[in-house]
Amino acid sequence: MNYRDVIERVLSEYRLMLGIGDDVKVKVRRYRTKAASSNIKTRTIYINEDLLDLSEDIIKYLVLHELLHIKLQSKYHDERFYTTLHFFIPPEKIDTIREVIMKRMLQNYVMKRMSH
């Protein structure tokens, strides 16, 4: 299964659970310093393509994280955000996922710096 199929499946599952319409789009692009981002107005999630080969758990986390921003109509990480996020993914697992993401991003940064 390729990452686009995983993204679509995860997006579909979380949209249903969160009661979000099917107008949310996911786009993949290369970021140097971001794992993902979202545009609340256009209801678009952007995921860093350098992270898509890590694991399905990473994709789930990134999609859910950005979907919550859209659902809550907020770019902030407040109590409501974390309460909802932790309902789906336990904090300990999030810590592990973030560690893997940061490790990959640091790795990519170092590799790019060395190639110059």
Domains of the chain (ranges, CATH numbers): 3-114 (3.30.2010.10)
What are 62's strand-pairing partners? none
Tokens describing residue 115: 């190639």
pTM of the model: 0.92
Q: Is the dihedral of CA 101, 102, 105, 110 positive or negative?
A: negative
Average pLDDT score, the chain = 93
Tokens describing residue 91: 């904090």
Q: Please give the average per-residue pLDDT across 71-76, as a whole number.
A: 95
Within 13 Å of residue 95, how many CA atoms lie on the same side as its CB? Answer: 3
Residue in the block written with tokens 């979907």: 67
pLDDT for position 65? 97
